[in-house]
Amino acid sequence: MTTTKDTYIVQEGAVLDRREFFTKLGLGSLGVAAVGTLAFYYQYLSPNVLFEPSPIVNAGAIDRYPLGSVTLDVNSAIYLVHIARGYFSLSAICTHLGCMTAWKPELNMIACPCHGSRFNREGQKLAGPAPKPLPWLKTWLSDDGELMVDRSITIPQFQFLRV
């Protein structure tokens, strides 16, 4: 009759001895607990509900934007532009580091006060450190004839809203 204990001794080197087994079990459990703790913190620190303004903006009646105008809405940080080819809206957030740009009518361009990026009225970069053009935002006309903009959806450039 051989007991379990004897088996371990016989198979020396081939399998874990008891001490090694429990050390590995202990370290493994600590590892699992550490990963769990990280996941816990990650989830806790990411808020599930945000009290932020809606991405959808009602920009008002379309006749507020005459032909050739570039209008900055400071509160929602978007430009509403009306040129001969149609209406469109641009994000006013500089693609460099997130400052709010401004329309400079005397220069006929959009300029960022932080690091000097410049864009034309279609949002294309003319100068400065900005890596990308100003994004075009999804724009449509509501049933009441008001311009609506969804700031969370970017569309390809030069997709005009024609009325």
Partner 1 sequence: MPGTIETYFDKLERTRVWRSIFRSGKGTSTLHNALAIQQNVFLHLFPTKVRKRMLGLGATWYLGTLTLGTFIVLVVTGILLMLYYHPSVPRAYSDVKDLQFVVSSGLFLRNLHRWSAHAMVFLAFAHMFRVFYRGAYRTPREFNWVIGVVLLLVTLLLSYTGYLLPWDQLAFWAITVGTNISSAVPLIGDKIRFMLLGGHLVNANALLRFYVLHCVILPLTAVLFLAVHFWRIRKDGGLYVRETEPGVANSDQDLSNQEQESR
Q: Which of 15/97 has CB closer to partner 1?
A: 97
**For the chain, counts of helices (H) and of strands (E):** 2, 10
CB nearer partner 1, residue 42 or residue 106: 42
In whole angstroms, the minimum distance from the beta carbon of 13 to partner 1 comes to 39
Helix then strand then coil, in percent of the chain rounded to 5, is: 25, 30, 45
Of 42 and 144, CB closest to partner 1: 42
For the record, the structure tokens of 14 come out as 């081939």
46-65 residues near partner 1, rule: CB under 8 A: 46-47, 50-52
What minimum distance in Å lies between the beta carbon of 35 and partner 1?
Answer: 17
Contact string (CB under 8 A) for partner 1, positions 104-133, x = contact: ----------x-------------------
- Cα distances (angstroms) measured from residue 158 to each of 56, 87, 131, 139: 20, 10, 19, 12
DSSP 8-state assignment for residue 29? H
